[in-house]
Structure 1
């Protein structure tokens, strides 16, 4: 079995996928695990909507309506399965809105990692139309909800090339709390 570290290191976005897709039962298993992200007060401020077949064509029409175009966008047809990730905000004195959105985003990312590890190609797609009225209406969003985007899912092409993304230099994004005075040992530790 792949370790979590290996799964994260090997993750990549798949912009092109085959027509295969996971079953609803497979998705429920993975979503149950993805729902274990850190969630202050266990509010579960998220939900996921499954789009297959003609659902994707309906989304294409809503996207075009949102951008003022006629017809249907072909974007949702790029994968056989789309999972819409929705932040469902709950009233709370302890958990602010931004934190609830972070939980929903965490579920989406965790789900994408689990799908990738299970052998599926996944890419998280967004766009300015995610917050449009036609797209919100299509997804049945309530006043307390926002669409964060869709996970496009399908089979990994057999002759796919490895991802082109460069490794992250963590040192550029990692620091200590600024201090007015550091000991010589701390200064040495920071520079190495």
Structure 2
């Protein structure tokens, strides 16, 4: 197996990060690589919005507005870099909206793996306000776009001992196609 398997097994979410963050050039490299995710018809129905510094304060005000509060939410201040993941739907009869959103989600996950493997702490945050008008406006979203959440990115802080994630029991999530009476009848019909 390659290093990809180990990178995936080692990945974890970092709810607390330091004030260090990857550079714009590093992010461009990761976004370019993440864009290689499976994409039916190569529509690239996604984009990433980089938020640093006062961008996070503007987002904090938009989140507060979405939640019916005054001032600003401190949530975006929990990391020095936020990468907003946007599903940017394309008009097509061939690729349904859900599949385009799956591509954008795949880019987000791939990006989080790449960042984690490069030594950065990452957490994918969502919330009901991702669908609010105030937050959409703050990100400059078009009518054909939806915000899927943000990757909060920063340095990995020193930790005494990392909590081990419980391994996934593949047997509970992996099955075969059902082979009931109806399936057997269909197979017999196909053989004739």
Equivalent position of 1:45 in the other structure: 45
SS of equivalent to 2:32: helix
Q: Who is 2:187 aligned against?
A: none
The 1:165/1:33 distance shift into structure 2, 3 A limit, reads same
Question: Which residue is 1:157 aligned to?
Answer: 157
Structure 1: runs of 5+ lacking an equivalent? 183-192
Is 1:130 paired with 2:130?
Answer: yes
| C-alpha deviation, 1:162, in angstroms | 1.6
Q: 2:51 is paired with a residue of what secondary structure?
A: strand
Distance 1:54 1:28 in 2: 21
Listed one character per residue, the Cα deviations across residues 16-41 of structure 1 (whole Å, up to 9, x for unaligned) are 00000000000001111000000000
**RMSD in angstroms over aligned alpha carbons?**
1.4
User: What's the secondary structure of 1:168's corresponding residue?
Assistant: coil
CA–CA separation in structure 1 for the residues paired with 2:103 and 2:171 = 26
Q: After TM superposition, give the deviation of residue 160 of structure 1 in Å.
A: 5.4
Distance in 2 between residues matched to 1:52 and 1:65, nearest whole Å:
20
Contact conserved, 1:81 with 1:152, CA < 8 A, in 2? yes
Which residue does the alignment assign to 1:185?
none
Q: For the residues of structure 2 that align with 1:84 and 1:161, how far apart are their CA atoms?
A: 30
Contact 1:131–1:147 under 8 Å retained in 2? yes
Displacement after TM superposition at 1:165 (Å) = 2.4
SS in 1 for 2:151: strand
Q: Is the partner of 1:87 in helix, strand or coil?
A: strand
Matched, 1:104 2:112: no
Aligned equivalents of 1:127 and 1:96: distance in 2?
Answer: 24
Moved over 2 A (4+): none
Is the contact between residue 20 and residue 154 of structure 1 (CA under 8 Å) also seen in structure 2?
yes
Distance in 1 separating the partners of 2:161 and 2:150: 23
Which whole-Å CA distance do the structure 2 matches of 1:53 and 1:153 have between them?
Answer: 13
Gaps in structure 2 of 5+ consecutive residues: 184-192
TM-score, structure 2 length as denominator? 0.92
**Secondary structure of 2:44's match?**
coil
Deviation at 1:93, TM superposition (A): 0.8
Contact 1:12 1:163 (8 Å CA) reproduced: no
TM-score, normalised relative to structure 1: 0.92
Residue in structure 2 matched with residue 172 of structure 1 by the alignment:
172
User: Deviation per CA, 1:130-162, whole angstroms, max 9, x where unpaired?
Assistant: 000000000000000000000000000022532
1:107 deviation in Å? 0.2
Are the aligned partners of 1:19 and 1:80 in contact in 2 as well (CA < 8 Å)? yes
